[in-house]
Amino acid sequence: MLRILLSPRVMVLHLLAIGALAVCGLLGRWQLGVFEDSGRPQAARDPAPVAVGTLTRPGEHLTSDLVGRRVSAEGVYDASRQLLVPGRDEGLWIVTALDLGDGTAIPVVRGAVSAPGDPATAVPEGKVAVTGRLRASEGTDSVPRRVRQLPEGQVLTVSSAELINLWQGVRLRDGYVVATSQSPAPAVAPEPVAAPAPTESGVLTWRNLAYAGQWWIFGLFAVFMWWHFVRDAVRSGKAASAAGAEPGGEPGGEPGPDAGPGPGERSRPAAV
């Protein structure tokens, strides 16, 4: 049997089965990886910064497709309209109204500090150019009433509806900007606030999962066909060996006592 399994024809079957199993396994794993990656959040398109005045309008809500966009703004910070927002990961956010020079303003999160008396809370003077990401106004409905009792000069959320009441006399644009850079830089800069790029939720591609299953089934079929052909080869070899054995003697050996006369020999009469 070992001689049959190591014969050249059967060795070719072994190699073909190993190759088919490896290829089908790798292709199935690749399709499974594509399926897994499709469900992960994907980085969205991140265009270059545009002027914030082209995306926002006073009295109009910020649409969802604009949230996370990179924006730029030029103006003067209004020192009389600055608040701190506690309870954030970075500490206390510094929110200052940026007067855009057209009769409107937009809240800008300039950074964060650890305490209200930090020197970084000082409002920069003169005209500044700010680059950052546009965020939607935060809601206040879910904030418990008892938590809203904060020290003067602090608010719990960056809400346009709340800021309009606190910063009266200014036409405020909806949303706010999380600053990522400022020119000229302040003398004492606050800690930066995270402004990650927007992402899009992934959509699972079940078709790739089906493709992975198909490749693995092909691999199992290749194993089955290998077993089928090898079994037939072994059976054929055994049958050929059995057919080579002559009756009354060993295959290829001397004839037995009951064997007939050999070629060229006369048959002798039996003794009476």
With tokens 């938590």, the residue in question is 147
pLDDT at site 193: 92
Residue-by-residue pLDDT tens, the chain, 272 positions: 667 677 777 788 888 889 988 999 899 888 888 877 776 665 556 678 889 888 888 778 888 778 888 999 999 999 999 999 998 988 999 999 999 998 899 999 999 999 998 999 999 999 999 999 999 888 766 554 445 578 888 999 999 888 988 998 889 999 999 999 999 988 889 999 988 876 656 567 788 888 889 989 998 988 888 888 888 777 777 777 777 654 544 444 444 444 455 544 554 554 44
Predicted local confidence at residue 84, as pLDDT: 95
Structure confidence at residue 35 (pLDDT)? 79
Could you tell me how far CA 258 lies from the centroid of its own chain?
A: 83
- pLDDT recorded at residue 141: 60
Give me the pLDDT at residue 272, please. Answer: 40
Alpha-carbon distance 7 to 65, whole Å?
Answer: 68
pLDDT of residue 203: 67
| Beta partners for residue 128, in sequence order | 75
Residue 98 has what pLDDT? 95
